[in-house]
Structure 1
């Protein structure tokens, strides 16, 4: 099947109002968590993404039934009859490893392969495996497959993470919520999406305290019951549309977002010269002034600057007056979008973990590819602010995390079509 393309005619200032989609990084672990529940789970504000559909294919393979209507996903997991996920399903997305904790927690065993998704460099799963072993699971990870068993169930314990990994924290929460006794996670990831996962599980009958802090305490329960839950808004999608407004010197309002979720990157847009006003569930952005450079930005675990926003904001900084520097500390291959930005006329030099952006007055449309999810979104942001036509190939990467990105941007005056 031929890959789709996005064709963007640049030079049109964005103007208008949008409602931000539900969070990809919240919905995926919650979908996995639903298989641990008895009865029906209803997820509202669930984004229609290829990663969401991939999650549903995994659940369906395991014996669950899934029904998507609009942005409401209904899951019935009572028919689970498998504990192994085939390689072709695991490789559709990077977050598929979270099914390890969910299946071990519900069934006491699982069979997986190594996850796929964007090629951002190694995402070692040693911390996941170490945590499962510490909770009493036997793990065999030879020949590209992972076999886990906990014949007598998982047992609560204290786990100190060497790094506040989001995926590992989520996997431990899923494994621990129905384990025997108390599990304590120290140096846990603090992302808002982890708070949403814990809130969902607590609605289902779980006993999780401290999510959003560096220490999380989970008291195991015997069973969980499905519930109705509203997926939190997507802060990275919000960052993308704010950056698109900045790139085009536009003026937009984003509704359905808690502005506090965006604190980790909002100050960067303000340094760029954007006027930003926040009020209940809304962010107003006026980016009509010429953009300014922002000095140095270091990607860090939450509440630091998110690595997922690095490429997206770099795209609008290409035309900011002065020199801006990114230091990428999370993923080693997260500058794959730079070559395409340079092809469009940007002045960017990568030295080790640092990317040095010297602002130029104009960038120009070109034929580029979406190298990964956020790199693809960066191409869209740059294309909107460029002169001429930009053609983005490999759009399937963008579709993993953005719901109808061309329709959202077109609704604000962008000229973008899918072909």
Structure 2
């Protein structure tokens, strides 16, 4: 099993290109199921999760091809052969559940296994089911599979979600594009990935308004056509690499970055003593005056502080001046990186959904183990700022969400290498 060896090596300087968003691309790919005509995505990230979604769509009979070194994904669902999303594929990745709404909308039936993914909490499907049932679907859980039917077609409805779930919003919006009549989805999630999905669906002929706000209105149409769409910049990869110069010193420009994607995160960095400024090509990040200051963080749905940057922010706070409190309100069980950071000399106390971090002068390199996707990169960041060598094992998690992480960090002066497993 591969590992990554990181040696603390001082300030980082240069440019890092930011890829297309994993979470956006994984949402856009199932949209091909809504139409017989081709859907082409550009600026696609080259990640193992994208390969998993490709395999899932192909198992349903869709044609999926990776072009231009994987940065273009060409898809066609003109002759699907199955409406069953099998456990063997779905268990690998939470986003696999996003085929449920499109299959149900276009074919009136779908059988989808309960999903898997990172071990960061239960993340149940109830909000997805409630929304699709509001559109007239009949859904039953049998033997670990959701059996959904709407043989007379889905019908528009007014539905308010109990929680602003990103995945449920995406599933319901996709399903509603082909429903009869108008759907009004209240307490909808507002993430940029949802805005990106709606922009793509609109190019395919969908009639949708209100994306980016808590209320989205969808006027159902009879059919959707083909389109070409560029995947939005990955705000989580962007935020992750913004932390590299914050932890190590130096100045790094993140190519393709946009402040609108990370405003709440950038505001916290500013409060901690990190400068973030827009350039013609992206965002430039550097420390203002030496050691950063401790700040408190509460994870919230967009536009609040992203849960997917909590682990990385904790790594920064480990060497901050003062005491910071990080409160996780989105997922339970998402502080599994804390014991590994403690192995590197961090002072962290976890009580339920709250972690208290007392900053230390310097972390020390140590063997550590990645427990999930975002935890893995937080340990790499910590290793960059630590004294000595850090070996991060179980980095297969990393491949799900970050392309060419070693190459990108090497490009700004980091001492990092991937060690192939035996």
TM category (shorter chain) comes to over 0.9
Match of 2:349 in 1: 349
> Contact between 1:326 and 1:356, CA under 8 Å: does it hold in 2?
yes
Contact kept in structure 1, 2:344 and 2:366, CA below 8 Å: yes
Name the structure 2 match of 1:385.
Answer: 385
- Tell me how large the CA RMSD over aligned residues is: 1.1
The residue matched to 2:16 in structure 1 has which SS?
A: strand
Q: Is the 8 A contact 1:103 1:109 kept in 2?
A: yes
* Structure 2: distance between partners of 1:299 and 1:204: 34
Distance 2:247 2:296 in 1: 19
Number of residues paired by the alignment?
A: 417
Secondary structure of the 1:141 match is: strand
Give, in whole Å, the separation in 2 of the partners of 1:51 and 1:106.
24
Report 1:2-13 matches (<5 A). Answer: 3-13=1-11
Provide the C-alpha distance between the structure 1 equivalents of 2:257 and 2:105, rounded to a whole number of angstroms. Answer: 32
Cα distance, 1:102 vs structure 2: 1.2
For structure 1, the 5+ residue unaligned runs are: none
Distance 2:173 2:73 in 1: 22
- After TM superposition, list the pairs within 5 Å mapping 1:60-79 onto structure 2: 60-69=58-67, 70=69, 71-79=71-79
Structure 2 equivalent of residue 411 of structure 1: 411
In structure 1, the residue matched to 2:320 is 320
Report the Cα offset of residue 281 of structure 1: 4.3
2:44 partner SS: coil
Contact 1:190 1:214 in 2 (8 A): yes
Do residues 80 (structure 1) and 80 (structure 2) align? Answer: yes
Alignment of 1:133-148 (within 5 A): 133-148=133-148
Q: Where does residue 29 of structure 1 map in the other structure?
A: 27
Contact 2:258-2:278 within 8 A present in 1 as well: no
Counterpart position of 1:261 = 261
Q: Give how far 1:291 is off.
A: 2.8
1:204 equivalent in alignment to 2:185: no
Q: What is the correspondence of 1:161-240 to structure 2 with a 5 Å cutoff?
A: 161-240=161-240
Q: CA deviation at 1:288?
A: 6.4
Report the secondary structure of 2:5's partner residue: strand
**Is the 8 Å Cα contact of residues 251 and 288 (structure 1) preserved in structure 2?**
no
**Does the 8 Å contact 1:184/1:218 carry over to 2?**
yes
Judged with a 3 Å threshold, the aligned counterparts in structure 2 of structure 1 residues 297 and 348 are, in CA distance, closer, same or farther, namely: same
Q: Tell me how far 1:292 sits from its aligned partner.
A: 2.8
Deviations 1:301-327 (A, max 9, x none): 111111111001111111111111111
Q: CA deviation at 1:12?
A: 2.9
Instruction: Please state how far the C-alpha of 1:226 moved relative to its aligned partner.
Output: 1.5
Measured in 2, the distance between the counterparts of 1:86 and 1:312 equals: 33
**Distance in 1, Cα, partners of 2:10 & 2:53:** 36
Residue 37 of structure 2 aligns with which residue?
39
